[in-house]
Amino acid sequence: MGVRLGFASLLAAGVALPAMAQTSPVAIPPKDFGPVWTGFYVGAAFGAGGMVNNLSTGGGGLASTVNGAGGSGVLGSIYGGVDYQVLPRAVIGVLGELTLASISGTSSATVPGANASVTSQPNFGWALLARAGFLANSSTLFYFTGGYTGQNIRTSGTATAGGAWASFSRTDTFNGWTFGPGFEAMLGRNWATKLEYRYSQYGAQTISGVTMSPSTHTVRAGLTYKFGGFGMAPPESTPTFNEPAFNWTGIYGGVAAGAGMATGPVTASAGGASATFDGAGQGLMAGVFIGADYQFARQGVVGVMGDFTWSGMQSTATITAPGGGAYAAVSPNRSWSIMGRLGYLPIPTTLLYAAAGYSNMNVKASGTAMLGGAALFGERDTAVSGWTVGPGIETVISGGWTTRLEYRYSQYEQKQVAWGVTTQPSTHTVRLGLAYKFGIGADNKSLAAAD
């Protein structure tokens, strides 16, 4: 609950800033009418995400608990809805969505004479949502969305203890709620693009002796067609604001905070006991970043940036049986990255970009195994190298201040992170950032003349 409340509070603060620091209205030529947000729309989205599933099993002298089983994968969705622009800078709406995902995760554990394995696969999902947003400018919408969500999850598993054996396979419907922020930007008269993050929590169910409490972290990049068209109203009924021409070239620094999940295969073994699971941990994160951009064309920006991030993600697995047991914990706690980014400006004050580069993360891991009267323990911090990639949207608040929403997928190398514990972590994260760019808003006559 702390993850959700903390993240929601942070984002609420980020969205409130533009209201306190908006620039004066700027006249837009008639050919550049601002968008009219009222109307029906349909769209399609593609994205990625992961599942965090808390599992517990017991029976026949064998018990296991995995606080953070999971997996990751890609997803696609279609959606439709209607928006209503209730004020010059406020938009509300409702929408429905259908999603198909390829997320899958497996957990297994073994001690002498007993073992258990469970695989979970969220596949088909749906949602009924409301959203409310604030227009940073007449073409860029900050919004929050939330509501009901349902998810089909296919679960299969086997367990043995002594001479007993059991297996199952079934598909169940989980109901829950979903919430998250998003940015939407106009591309043309009828087209818009959006970047949206969602956290979804589903109710717990006991299935064939396994109690499951799943949640998901997902990001979607969508392309929307709005019937009636953006920019169809006359200028006097379509206010335009905060859309001056300026140059993105400059050096910047900022702070960011958000949430996410870490997932990846983890194996812990000692003596005759072992536990293998697709671990998944979730938590808040905060960081600082610096960078430099160069606007090489009227609608093109290239740059470099670096960041340092602290996170609170952790996953654990425990198994107990007569005469033995095993425990493993993996906690990615800090990371840094160096990236390049390339962006497109649909309007002068909003940048759509993709970033990619090198990432390094510190993982704190521990493992314990008990067999008979012997106990073994190991713990250490390990640095793992990898790569990171993701999209983002950044928009001007006022003067040199900008705000951004950025998703990152990071994949790291496989490594032994503690005695008897091996993992290959990956992370799905979303960050809301506030930056100040030195020199932003400089004279942009040369770029305007090139138009």
**Tokens (6 digits) for 1:** 């609950």
CA distances from 364 to 52, 171, 223, 316, 378 (A): 19, 35, 40, 12, 11
Q: Mean pLDDT lowest for which of 32-46, 89-103, 130-144, 386-400?
A: 32-46
Handedness of CA 18, 198, 312, 73 (dihedral sign): negative
Burial of 124: CB neighbours in 10 Å, binned 0-12, 13-18, 19+: middle
pLDDT in tens, 351-366: 999 999 999 999 887 7
In this prediction, residues 117-133 reach a mean pLDDT of: 90
- Write down the residue that tokens 């160069």 correspond to: 294
Residue 380: which pLDDT band, with cuts at 50, 70 and 90? Answer: confident
In 3-state terms, what secondary structure has residue 297? strand
pLDDT in tens, 69-96: 778 889 999 999 999 999 888 999 999 9
pLDDT for residue 443? 47
pLDDT above 90 (res 408): yes
pLDDT for residue 151? 95
Residue 242: which pLDDT band, with cuts at 50, 70 and 90? Answer: low
- The most confident of 124-133, 237-246, 257-266, 326-335, by mean pLDDT: 124-133
* Non-local CB neighbours of 445 within 8 Å, separated by 6+ positions: none
The amino acid that residue 43 corresponds to is G
In this prediction, residues 310-327 reach a mean pLDDT of: 76
pLDDT for residue 193? 94
pLDDT above 80 (res 435): yes
How far is Cα 419 from Cα 270, in angstroms, rounded to an integer?
9
pLDDT for residue 5? 35
pLDDT for residue 4? 37
In this prediction, residues 404-431 reach a mean pLDDT of: 85
CB-based contact 247:442 (threshold 8 Å): yes
pLDDT for residue 147? 97
In this prediction, residues 381-399 reach a mean pLDDT of: 91
Residue 119: which pLDDT band, with cuts at 50, 70 and 90? Answer: confident
Mean pLDDT of the chain: 80
CB-based contact 31:234 (threshold 8 Å): no
More confident residue, 345 or 68: 345
Written in H, E and C, the secondary structure of 37-73 is: CCEEEEEEEEEEEEEEEEEEEEECCEEEEEEEEEEEE
CA distances from 198 to 103, 144, 178, 323, 427 (A): 15, 10, 6, 43, 15
In this prediction, residues 408-437 reach a mean pLDDT of: 86
pLDDT above 90 (res 302): yes
Domain, as residue range, for 69: 2-450
In this prediction, residues 324-342 reach a mean pLDDT of: 86
Residue 42: which pLDDT band, with cuts at 50, 70 and 90? Answer: very high
How far is Cα 405 from Cα 400, in angstroms, rounded to an integer?
17
pLDDT above 50 (res 114): yes
pLDDT above 80 (res 330): no
The secondary structure of residue 442, as a DSSP letter, is B
pLDDT in tens, 13-36: 333 333 333 333 333 333 344 567
CB-based contact 355:407 (threshold 8 Å): no
Q: Mean pLDDT lowest for which of 28-37, 87-96, 142-151, 381-390?
A: 28-37
Closest to 64 in 3D by CA, of 118, 133, 28:
118
pLDDT above 80 (res 320): no
How far is Cα 10 from Cα 3, in angstroms, rounded to an integer?
11
More confident residue, 136 or 379: 136
Q: Mean pLDDT lowest for which of 120-134, 180-194, 278-292, 419-433?
A: 419-433
CB-based contact 367:377 (threshold 8 Å): yes
pLDDT in tens, 183-194: 999 887 789 999
pLDDT in tens, 245-294: 668 999 999 999 999 888 877 776 666 666 676 778 888 899 999 999 99
Residue 243: which pLDDT band, with cuts at 50, 70 and 90? Answer: low
- Write down the residue that tokens 């209503």 correspond to: 84
* pTM, two decimal places: 0.78
pLDDT above 50 (res 446): no
In 3-state terms, what secondary structure has residue 230? coil
What total of structural domains would you count in the chain?
A: 1
Q: Is 12 left (phi over 0), alpha (psi -120 to 50) or beta?
A: alpha
pLDDT above 60 (res 349): yes
